[in-house]
Amino acid sequence: MWKPDRQSKKTLYEQIADHLEQRISYGEFPPGSLLPSERKLAEQLDVNRSTVILAFAELRSMGIIESRTGSGTRVSKSKWGATPKHTPNWRRYAEGGSFLPNLPFMRKIREALTQQPSLIDFASGELAADLAPVDEIAKLMSEHKYTSYLGYDNPQGYIPLRQDLVSFLARYRGIRTTESSILITSGSQQSLYLITQCLLSPGDAVAIEDPSYCYSLPMFQSAGLRLFRLPVDQHGVRPDDIRALYKKHRIKMVFLNPNYQNPTGTVLGAERRKQVLDVASELALPIVEDEPFSLTAYEGNPPPPLKSMDTVGSVLYIGSFSKIAASGLRIGWMVAPRSIVERLADARQQMDFGLSVIPQQVAAQFLKSSHFEPHLDRLRIQLQYKRDLIIEALRKELPDLVTFTAPEGGLHLWCKLVPEVHDGKLLDEAIRKGVVFVPGSVYGSDSGFVRFTYARATAEEIGLGISGFAEALRELIDERSCLD
Ligand SMILES: Cc1ncc(COP(=O)(O)O)c(C=O)c1O
């Protein structure tokens, strides 16, 4: 993000005026469009509001912008658009299309993290740099020649990676499959996208867990799907609820995250796993098993995936490199019947001709390298350590104000706030205190929850972040009791 150069000979306001003029002339702010307010720009650029006022005055004197009391500052139409040439109404276009924007809380969190990179991040569901195998991957990249031909690859995915995944899935997840049943995707997110766009139709009813990561994705609504909830208790969803939703709404598919579920950390009980598969086969109902966290199991082996127990072929299994290695490689996979893999690979051909071959080669090297197992062992220990740190900090800072169940794997802690406070106010206050988290309402229908991701912050930041959060929460509670 551009900021004025305080060492420059040019004054701050002149630099800002030049910068805005350039962005206007490049079309970022077309004629008639609203500029950010003086206060917002001052915050973004780390300058006094009076500096922005001077910059605006300069642009106004050149006729580039116009300000009207009560309606803000706009790019002037007379100077930049008064000819037979007309700029398309980009804002209208930006609001068009069938793809819905991200949820306001998610956009606010992303904006806060971009503008204040020093925020302690309990929101991003990914590993910190010290947990990712950065050095191992750099070493592999320096040791291997990656490709001799950089043409379009198979849209189903790089064949050696699919072959390596066959052994990986057999060894770590007990899933027996073949390379022709595997589709490589840009993270599991793309698997979800392909399923919602290519296998379902607008108006179809689907069941998702409540709370669930899926709720945070307007992608489901963009596909025109009708969402029905499967409440999650301490052993996951209840199989009878699936049957009931089928009877009532003829659901077409069920989305489950059975191990260390995002956001609750819950594990689907062993008996329920069998029953879910029984219901699925009884109703010929596909189950999407989203399984990104299993290999983070802190102690012992994670429960077996539904896919490994599926004798009928009800399960579309999706996995990812993101939570066990590196989200930036964007490597995910789907194991599905051949007809589905072919259909989705064909869609990939239209969308992007498949994933870049380079990260696929890196992932394949890493999976079969001697670095993989030691990395996983270290990851599990470190994640457990960070989980313990956040729990200790919460017990110290908010013993009476939060309740939670300690997860046995994954990256997230799901906390119930004992007195309910306003989600948005709590997030704003926490950001002011230097910490960001995800309000629970993003993931489901119940209010009064918070999701903390403990994998992204450093060990030192965890205690500090929780004390900032505790201050924010206590302030809101005090404010409320003053009003009561
Ligand atoms: C349950 C679940 N599924 C899918 C994803 C998407 O992850 P990726 O596309 O990085 O694999 C996430 C990310 O947070 C997740 O928590």
Residue with tokens 């993989």: 372
Tell which one of 184, 262, 324, 442 to mutate to probe ligand 1, the residue whose CB is within 8 A of the most ligand atoms: 262
User: Looking at the structure, do residues 117 and 214 belong to the same domain, yes or no?
Assistant: no
360-398 CB burial, b ≥16 within 10 A, e <16: bbbbbbbbebebbeebbeebbebbbebbebbbebbeebb
57/354 Cα distance (integer angstroms):
50
Q: Which of 239, 299, 229, 230 is nearest to 269 (CA)?
A: 239
220/252 Cα distance (integer angstroms):
13
pLDDT at 84: 45
The one-character DSSP state at 258 is -
**Chain centroid to CA 294: how far?**
18
User: Looking at the structure, do residues 300 and 200 belong to the same domain, yes or no?
Assistant: yes
User: Looking at the structure, do residues 180 and 291 belong to the same domain, yes or no?
Assistant: yes
Residue 166, in any domain of the structure: yes
Say if ligand 1 is within 6 A of residue 314 CB: no
Say if ligand 1 is within 6 A of residue 216 CB: no
Long-range contacts of 306-312 (CB under 8 A, 24+ apart): 306/256, 306/258, 306/273, 306/276, 306/277, 307/173, 307/175, 307/335, 308/173, 308/174, 308/175, 308/176, 309/273, 309/274, 309/277, 310/277, 312/277, 312/280, 312/281
Q: What is the pLDDT of residues 318-344, one digit of tens each?
A: 999 999 999 999 999 999 999 999 999
CATH number at 65 reads: 1.10.10.10
Distance 405 CA to ligand 1 centre (A): 22
Residue 135, in any domain of the structure: no
pLDDT at 91: 65
User: Looking at the structure, do residues 317 and 173 belong to the same domain, yes or no?
Assistant: yes
Task: Please name the helix (run of DSSP H) or strand (run of DSSP E) that holds residue 112, with its range, or none.
Answer: helix 104-115
pLDDT at 79: 62
C-beta separation of 232 from 209 below 8 A? yes
Residue 434, in any domain of the structure: yes
Residue 206, in any domain of the structure: yes
User: Looking at the structure, do residues 360 and 415 belong to the same domain, yes or no?
Assistant: no
Q: pLDDT over 70 for what percent of the chain?
A: 96
pLDDT at 22: 87
User: Looking at the structure, do residues 340 and 425 belong to the same domain, yes or no?
Assistant: no
| Nearest CA owner, ligand 1 atom 8 | 187
Residues facing residue 413 across a β-bridge? 452
Using the predicted structure, report yes or no on whether residue 45 has a pLDDT greater than 70. yes
436/113 Cα distance (integer angstroms):
8
Q: What is the pLDDT of residues 193-225, one digit of tens each?
A: 999 999 999 999 999 999 999 999 999 999 999
pLDDT at 116: 93
CATH number at 396 reads: 3.90.1150.10
C-beta separation of 454 from 265 below 8 A? no
> Considering its fold, how many domains does the chain have in total?
3
Task: Please name the helix (run of DSSP H) or strand (run of DSSP E) that holds residue 335, with its range, or none.
Answer: strand 332-335
Distance 292 CA to ligand 1 centre (A): 7
Residues facing residue 448 across a β-bridge? none
Q: What is the pLDDT of residues 228-244, one digit of tens each?
A: 999 999 999 999 999 99
Confidence of residue 304 (pLDDT cuts 50, 70, 90): very high
Confidence of residue 9 (pLDDT cuts 50, 70, 90): confident
Using the predicted structure, report yes or no on whether residue 470 has a pLDDT greater than 90. yes
Distance 312 CA to ligand 1 centre (A): 26
Average pLDDT of the chain, as a whole number:
93
Q: What angle do CA 69, 71, 76 make, to 5 degrees?
A: 95
Residue 138, in any domain of the structure: no
353/9 Cα distance (integer angstroms):
49
Residues in CB range of 6: below 8 A, 6 or more apart: 12
pLDDT at 406: 98
Say if ligand 1 is within 6 A of residue 239 CB: no
Say if ligand 1 is within 6 A of residue 266 CB: no
Q: Which atom of ligand 1 is nearest the CA belonging to 331?
A: 11
Q: Collapsing DSSP states into helix, strand and coil, what is residue 61? A: helix
Using the predicted structure, report yes or no on whether residue 401 has a pLDDT greater than 60. yes
Tell which one of 122, 183, 212, 213 to mutate to probe ligand 1, the residue whose CB is within 8 A of the most ligand atoms: 213
Say if ligand 1 is within 6 A of residue 4 CB: no
User: Looking at the structure, do residues 355 and 380 belong to the same domain, yes or no?
Assistant: no
| Nearest CA owner, ligand 1 atom 16 | 262
Say if ligand 1 is within 6 A of residue 369 CB: no
Between residues 26 and 105, the one the model is more confident about: 105
The residue from 370, 404, 422 where one domain ends is: 370
State the CB neighbour count (10 A cutoff) for residue 341.
19
295/289 Cα distance (integer angstroms):
15
Q: What is the pLDDT of residues 176-186, one digit of tens each?
A: 999 999 999 99
Distance 453 CA to ligand 1 centre (A): 13
Using the predicted structure, report yes or no on whether residue 85 has a pLDDT greater than 60. no
Task: Please name the helix (run of DSSP H) or strand (run of DSSP E) that holds residue 319, with its range, or none.
Answer: strand 315-320
The residue from 349, 370, 391 where one domain ends is: 370
Residue 219, in any domain of the structure: yes
Residue 275, in any domain of the structure: yes
User: Looking at the structure, do residues 182 and 251 belong to the same domain, yes or no?
Assistant: yes
* Highest mean pLDDT: which range of 3-12, 60-69, 435-444: 435-444
CATH number at 314 reads: 3.40.640.10
The residue from 370, 387, 413 where one domain ends is: 370
Residue range(s) defining the domain that contains residue 23: 12-95
Say if ligand 1 is within 6 A of residue 294 CB: no
287-290 sheet: strands from edge to edge: 182-185, 332-335, 315-320, 287-290, 253-256, 205-210, 226-231
Residue 198 burial class via C-beta count within 10 angstroms: exposed 0-12, middle 13-18, buried 19 and up: middle
Residue 2, in any domain of the structure: no
User: Looking at the structure, do residues 196 and 109 belong to the same domain, yes or no?
Assistant: no
User: Looking at the structure, do residues 227 and 365 belong to the same domain, yes or no?
Assistant: yes
Using the predicted structure, report yes or no on whether residue 81 has a pLDDT greater than 90. no
Q: What is the pLDDT of residues 273-287, one digit of tens each?
A: 999 999 999 999 999
User: Looking at the structure, do residues 449 and 321 belong to the same domain, yes or no?
Assistant: no
Lowest mean pLDDT among 53-62, 71-80, 421-430: 71-80
Q: Collapsing DSSP states into helix, strand and coil, what is residue 174? A: coil
Q: Which atom of ligand 1 is nearest the CA belonging to 332?
A: 11
| Nearest CA owner, ligand 1 atom 6 | 189
User: Looking at the structure, do residues 302 and 386 belong to the same domain, yes or no?
Assistant: no
C-beta separation of 424 from 105 below 8 A? yes
Say if ligand 1 is within 6 A of residue 212 CB: no
What token pair was written down for 454?
């403990």
* DSSP E strand boundaries for 118-163: 120-121
Say if ligand 1 is within 6 A of residue 262 CB: yes
pLDDT at 112: 96
Say if ligand 1 is within 6 A of residue 187 CB: yes
Q: Which atom of ligand 1 is nearest the CA belonging to 212?
A: 1
